[in-house]
Amino acid sequence: MIYRRVLPVFVCCILSIWNSGILAEEQALGLLSKPLSRPLSEVQTTISVQAGKAHYAMCLGCHSPGYNRTGPMHCGVFGRQAGSQEGYQYSEALKASSLRWNRQALDLFLEAPTKMVPGTSMTFAGIPDASVRTQLIDYLVTLAPEHKDCE
C-alpha cells in the first residue's frame, strides 16, 4: 500500500531532478556530455595530480620543479635517494638518512620533516592533512625529467 504512494513521488523527484538545471549545468561543464573515455581510476588520478599541482604553490617559496633554489628541485624526485640531487648542498642529516623518495617516505617527510629527519635543513612545519599530502605526492610522481614543468 505504501509503495503505491511512495513510488510515484520517487519517480517524480527523479524526473524533476533530471529536468532541473543541476544536470543541465553539469552538461554545460562537459561532465555528462559524453561517456568517459578513460577508466574512472585514471580520471581520479588526473584530478588528484591537478589538485597536487595547485598545492605545490606552497612549495614554490623554496623549491622549483626544474631547478635548485633554497631547496632542491623536484624533477625526478620520486625514486631518488634523499640528499643526492646534483648541484644542491643538503644537510648531513638528510644525506645520512638513507631514505629513498617513495610514496611512504614522502608522506612521512611532508607530514613532519624535522620529526622524520632530525637535523634536516628543511624548516617547513609540515602538512597535517593526509589528503593534501597524497595529492601533492601524486603531482611529484609525475615530475620525471621530461615533464613540461621541469623545463
**Using CA atoms, how far apart are residues 88 and 151, in angstroms rounded to an integer?**
18
**Using CA atoms, how far apart are residues 24 and 20, in angstroms rounded to an integer?**
7
- Same domain as 105, residue 137: yes
Per-residue pLDDT of the chain (151 residues; tens, 9 = 90+): 554 554 444 444 444 444 444 444 455 445 545 555 656 666 677 788 999 999 999 999 999 999 999 999 999 999 999 999 999 999 999 999 999 999 999 999 999 999 999 999 999 999 999 999 999 999 999 999 999 999 8
Helices (H) and strands (E) in the chain, counts: 7, 0
- Same domain as 23, residue 49: no
Asked if 73 and 66 count as a contact pair (C-beta separation under 8 A), the reply is: yes
Q: Domain of 17?
A: 1-34
- Same domain as 46, residue 29: no
Asked if 36 and 45 count as a contact pair (C-beta separation under 8 A), the reply is: no
